Amino acid sequence: MPRLLLTRPEDDSAGLAAALSDMGVTALIAPLLWVENVPGPMFDLDNTQGVLLTSANGARAMAARTARRDIPVYAVGDATARMASNLGFTDISSAHGDVDDLANLVRERCRPDQGVMFHAAGSVTAGDLAAMLAPFGFQVRREMLYEAKTPDTLPGVAFRALKDGVLDGVVLYSPRTARTFDALVGKAGLTDALAGLRLFALSRNVDAATTSRWAERIIAEQPDQESLLHAVRACYY
């Protein structure tokens, strides 16, 4: 039975682990990222025509800072859109991709004269939506609602699995996690262990962020969990 290391936050990894288990893949969870919401007052969204969500974490943080669930939400991908729906938002559009696709969606669906776009952002973002949309007349209000933090050392689960050689591959979901993984594996003196493992990357940006030597690099056709699971299934079954 293949064994993969998952590096997402605990809550996010749990769902992926369950899906992998259903296809006969064992998952070991070693989070390299955890999220803390930034406390603050409820937001006034009266002059806001839509909320931009670039992650499920942004959806969770936004839900904690506004009681409004009717405001239009533009999500970077389907997983983020599902999270927004689970949190009670009712008017949701998905860009089905990355931050560039989200900017394109806003340009197609919205008008600059209808109000400000509110970006529920984290401390680190994959792209500058304000800069992308400014040439088209849009005003983006970026608020840091959560902070993603990383560990100083490789989690024990990951250290032991790499040291004992019990893994078949590693799943990486974000460029930041990929860079953190490389750094912590190097710090632990286990970089050579990756040469016999497959990398499963959510996107080309994630793949490009890891400079380690892998046995094989497999990139999901689309940056979503369904495509990643399809890549895993095609590899092992």
**Same domain (yes/no): 51, 136:** yes
Of 146, 150, 172, the residue nearest 53 (C-alpha): 146
Token pair of 30, please?
A: 């070693």
Q: Examine the domain organization and report whether 60 and 89 are in the same domain.
A: yes
Rg of the chain over all Cα atoms, to the nearest angstrom: 19
Q: What is the pLDDT of residue 192?
A: 96
pLDDT for residue 42: 97
Whole-angstrom Cα distance, residue 234 to residue 236? 6
What percentage of the chain reaches a pLDDT higher than 70?
Answer: 100
Q: Examine the domain organization and report whether 54 and 144 are in the same domain.
A: yes
Range of the structural domain that residue 168 is part of: 3-33+151-236
Residues 166, 86 share a domain: no
Q: Which of 148, 180, 203 is the last residue of a domain?
A: 148
Same domain (yes/no): 125, 220: no
Residues 124 and 156 in one domain: no
In this predicted structure, what is the pLDDT of residue 141? Answer: 97
pLDDT of residue 172: 97
- What are the tens digits of pLDDT across the range 177-232? 999 999 999 999 999 999 999 999 999 999 999 999 999 999 999 888 899 999 99
Please check the confidence at residue 97 and state whether its pLDDT lies above 90.
Answer: no
**Average pLDDT, stretch 6-29?**
94
Same domain, yes or no, for 92 and 41?
yes
Rounded to 5°, the CA angle 151-157-162 comes to 100
Q: How does residue 124 score in pLDDT terms, banded at 50, 70 and 90?
A: confident
In terms of domains, do 128 and 78 share one? yes
Residue 182: exposed, middle, or buried by beta-carbon count in 10 A (0-12, 13-18, 19+)?
A: middle
Query: Are 156 and 71 found together in one domain?
Result: no
Domain identity same for 190 and 96: no
What is the pTM (predicted TM-score) of this model? 0.78
Last residue of a domain, one of 95, 115, 148: 148
What's residue 126's pLDDT?
73
Residues 27 and 40 in one domain: no
Compute the average pLDDT of residues 74-94: 96
Q: What is the pLDDT of residues 25-67, one digit of tens each?
A: 999 999 998 889 999 999 999 999 999 999 999 999 999 999 9
The CATH number of the domain holding residue 19 is 3.40.50.10090
- Domain termination site, one of 148, 174, 201: 148
Number of structural domains found in the chain: 2
Q: What average pLDDT does the structure give for the chain?
A: 95
Same domain, 97 and 184: no
Q: Tell me what the mean pLDDT of segment 152-171 comes to.
A: 97
Q: Are 38 and 145 in contact (CB under 8 A)?
A: yes
